Structure 1
Amino acid sequence: MFFDGTVRADGAGAGVVFMSPQRQILPYSFQLSELCSNNFAEYQTLIIGLQMAINMEITAFEVYGDSKLLTKYEVRKDDLVPYFRLATQLLQRFEAVTLEHVLRKENQMADVLANLASSMTLGEDEAADVPVCQRWVIPLITEILLDDINLISVLPVDVEEWRQLLIDYLEHGKLPDDHRHRSEIRRRAPRFLYYK
């Protein structure tokens, strides 16, 4: 389980990501109902994640967070002690659990989910399903508009640029003297159309 809590000026959020041994990912994002310090948000997130793991009947797992407060240091502020105690009690309910510190870059998904939740405005007892899909738009546009043909708009320029070599080949059949550039131009040219 990866977890991260975050606080912004307009809200606080929690991100929890469960990853199975088969690399199946279960991401969760929660808006925390009260503004708090970042340390409180981190503890809230850890506790939410542990409670979820208990509800899912997970008996052994590894927990990763980028907060050194939760994974390396002892609690020094009195107002955090109840959170520390609750987290400790929850951790004891598992047969085997490790709590480890990771770098922020290794905790990106939980961080993004926490930021998403902290930036959303939801009323009490409201929920929002936000699916995240991987897409890239440019190939779709070229399929619709050009049927997989690349189009270059050419404007007169004072300095030679990469497109000029393609234009010279497409318009006049002229290839550069350099053997490496010749092969590259021949390979790339069929993907372009030249309009005057």
Structure 2
Amino acid sequence: MWVIELEALNIEFTPRKAIKSQALADFIAEWMKLQQPTPEAILNHWKIYFDGSLKLRGAGAGVLFISPDGKQLKYVLQILWPATNNEAEYEALIHGFRVTASLSIKRLLVYGDSSVVINQVNKDCDCTKETCVEVCKLEKHFQGLEIDHVVCDLNVVADVLAKLESDRAQVPAGVFVEELSVPSIKRDEASTSDSPAPGTQVRTIIPA
């Protein structure tokens, strides 16, 4: 019965051709790509790389700012008081936060190679030191903030900036230099405001 009805429709049957293995692989790869969710782009975020250094001549700190369009701003802290290496790291991080907050930057990715400092500010271990508490206070100025640990090889620029000051070497042209005669936390305690803007003297070496 079905045969008679189908004959009236002039239906032709042809054998199905084999699909080449490469064509099948391409199809699967394309299908997998379509199934994967598209990652959300992180827009308008700044990056900060920070580091501290302690040598025989003293301590220094360096901060590298990178804007969303890739422009770089290099910042050196001349620490003129006896500081430990961790204190120099915290000075770099605190001043990095203050500079970006004073510019009304709201989204920030922060990288440092000190596992101690990173773990403390991320609350992975005890965060009772005044410097760590100060960092936590400054976090309220940002709407999006990530602080991650990186290996030293990925923090080279900040490391070089910090060592310039711990060696008391000449700072290249185009680098912002800030002199710290006292720890920034003591300076904040004497202040009546927790304003994020730096309160110390800044001088900039302008390229010739």
Match of 1:48 in 2: 95
Query: Alpha carbons of 1:69 and 1:129: their partners in 2 closer, same or farther (altered >3 Å)?
Result: same
The counterpart of 2:165, out of the listed 114, 117, 122, is 117
Give, in whole Å, the separation in 2 of the partners of 1:123 and 1:93. Answer: 23
Where does residue 108 of structure 1 map in the other structure?
Answer: 156
Do the aligned partners of 1:75 and 1:84 also contact (CA within 8 Å) in 2?
A: no
How far 1:92 moved relative to its partner?
A: 2.1
Q: 2:105 aligns with which of 41, 44, 58?
A: 58
The RMSD of aligned alpha carbons is 2.6
Report which of the two has the higher share of helix.
1
What pairs up with 1:61-140 in 2 under 5 angstroms? 61-73=108-120, 74=124, 76=126, 81-120=129-168, 127=203, 129=205
Which sections of structure 2, spanning at least 5 residues, go unmatched? 1-47, 170-178, 182-200
- Given that 1:66 and 1:101 are in contact with CA atoms closer than 8 Å, whether structure 2 keeps it comes out as yes
With over 3 angstroms needed to count, the CA separation of the structure-2 counterparts of 1:7 and 1:128, relative to structure 1, is: farther
Residue pairs, 1:19-34, within 5 angstroms: 19-34=66-81
For the Cα contact (< 8 Å) 2:79–2:180, is it kept in 1? no
Q: CA deviation at 1:101?
A: 0.3
In structure 1, distance between residues paired with 2:150 and 2:64: 14
| TM-score normalised by length of structure 1 | 0.59
TM-score (structure 2 length as normaliser): 0.56
- Alpha-carbon separation, structure 1, partners of 2:180 and 2:147: 33
Runs of 4+ with >6 A deviation:
121-124
Q: Write the letter of the residue equivalent to 2:136.
A: T
Q: In structure 2, what residue type is equivalent to 1:129?
A: I
Distance 1:96 1:129, change over 3 A: same
For residues 153 and 70 of structure 2, what CA distance do their matches in structure 1 show?
Answer: 18
Structure 1 gap ranges (5+): 134-196
Rg larger for: 2
Q: Distance in 1 between matches of 2:133 and 2:180?
A: 30
Query: Displacement of 1:72 after TM fit?
Result: 2.2
Verify the 8 A CA contact 1:7 1:35 in the aligned structure 2.
no
Write the letter of the residue equivalent to 1:44.
E
